[in-house]
Amino acid sequence: MFYLFLCCTCFCILSDWLAWLKIRKEKTKTLPKMPFVSILVAARNEEANILACLHSLAKLSYPHVEILIGDDNSTDNTLNIVQNFIKDKPQFAVIQVKEKIGTAIAKANVLAQLARKAKGEWLFVTDADVQVPSDWIENMLTEGEKSEIITGFTWVKGKGIFAILQALDWTFALATAKMFSYFGLPLTAMGNNMAVRRATYLQTGGYENMPPTLVEDFMLFKKIAIEGRKPFYQAFSHRVMAETKAIDNFGRFLQQRKRWMRGALQTHWIAQTYLWLRVGFYPLFLLTILMQVASRQSIFVLFAIKLFWQSVALHKFLKIIGKTKFIWAFGLYEMYLAFLSIILPIYYLIPLKIRWKDRIFEV
């Protein structure tokens, strides 16, 4: 048991070191051309968030763009807010989505219908609770100019320690995805900060021809980068950093992670092995302490080394995106990871339906 824990600890340290080593070698590129792009935003009951999103999209510096907002049968004031905001902005258009096409559900259904109306060479996707930087489009195209699908970096913004822990968690996860991309292993895509060539999207058959899913971003990424083996780019840079709101309700947080886990269990087997080793580290740590009483001192030393190096790597990742002020939360972050590694697998196995955007789904 001790040697198993030793191997798991060494694996965690090595993967963190590789992630930092690879990410720090990123170089600034230049945009060779400026194609016409379409931005797709699905919105349902987003009256509290949509205006900030629209303001950020209106400030984009990229000249060749159309912005399509899909209202998904909102029961609040979302549609009126959008209509009032865009009435003097010809680059914007709002489409009311009231019916399904194909097999797409929820957000995937909205994006499928927006994609049919889009004219851009590239389809950019973001969420109604996200704010993007003014140079978002040119930086995304610059970073992944030779790719078919691009994923940017998204920072979780909010007040309180729970929001900060979510931000650290996302940062570490996206750094991991970046590391895998250097070895040609596609891990996942961020559906709130993503771009795909329209021709490539159409080759997949579109969202309307995919199995019903609430992880439509991963399913599209899977079709293109994993099954299609087409070039992808996982950006990890402040140049493509959007901001999303942290989840302030633990129940909704568990629902979000349950959706994500369904996507994670469909990725490359090497990536799945990595994820299970990271998740299994903490239960293995507890079991080793209980079963290897004579080796407890060595076990705690190994744990301290792992915690130290993980903190060093996380600090390096945060430095790249200009968020180093959260170093004080690293110890709490370790406790957060330990708790989630136990509670999330249990919650995932409980046969509960997923509630998302005031709807209940069984997929």
Q: What angle separates helix 161-182 from helix 2-23, to the nearest 10 degrees?
A: 80
DSSP-derived 3-state class of residue 321: coil
In order of start, what are the domains of the chain with their CATH numbers?
2-22+268-347 (no CATH), 34-264 (3.90.550.10)
Which residues are CB-contacts of 315 (< 8 A; sequence separation ≥ 6)?
324, 327, 330
User: How does pLDDT run along the chain (363 residues), one tens digit per residue?
Assistant: 666 767 777 767 777 767 766 666 556 566 668 999 999 999 999 999 999 999 999 999 999 999 999 999 999 999 999 999 999 999 999 999 999 999 999 999 999 999 999 999 999 999 999 999 999 999 999 988 889 999 999 999 999 999 999 999 999 989 988 888 888 888 888 899 999 999 999 999 999 999 998 889 999 999 999 899 999 999 998 999 999 999 988 988 998 888 888 777 777 777 788 878 887 888 888 888 888 877 888 888 888 888 888 888 899 899 989 998 888 899 899 999 999 988 988 888 888 888 777 778 766
Tokens of 341: 């590694």
Residue whose token pair is 């704010």 = 131
Rounded-to-integer distance, Cα 122 and Cα 141, Å: 9
Distances 25 to 178, 240, 277, 316, 320 between C-alpha atoms, Å:
12, 17, 26, 12, 11
Bridge partners, residue 153, by sequence: 241
Residue (of 229, 218, 68) closest to 147 by Cα position: 229
Distances 129 to 47, 106, 112, 180 between C-alpha atoms, Å:
10, 16, 19, 28
- Look up the pTM and report it: 0.90
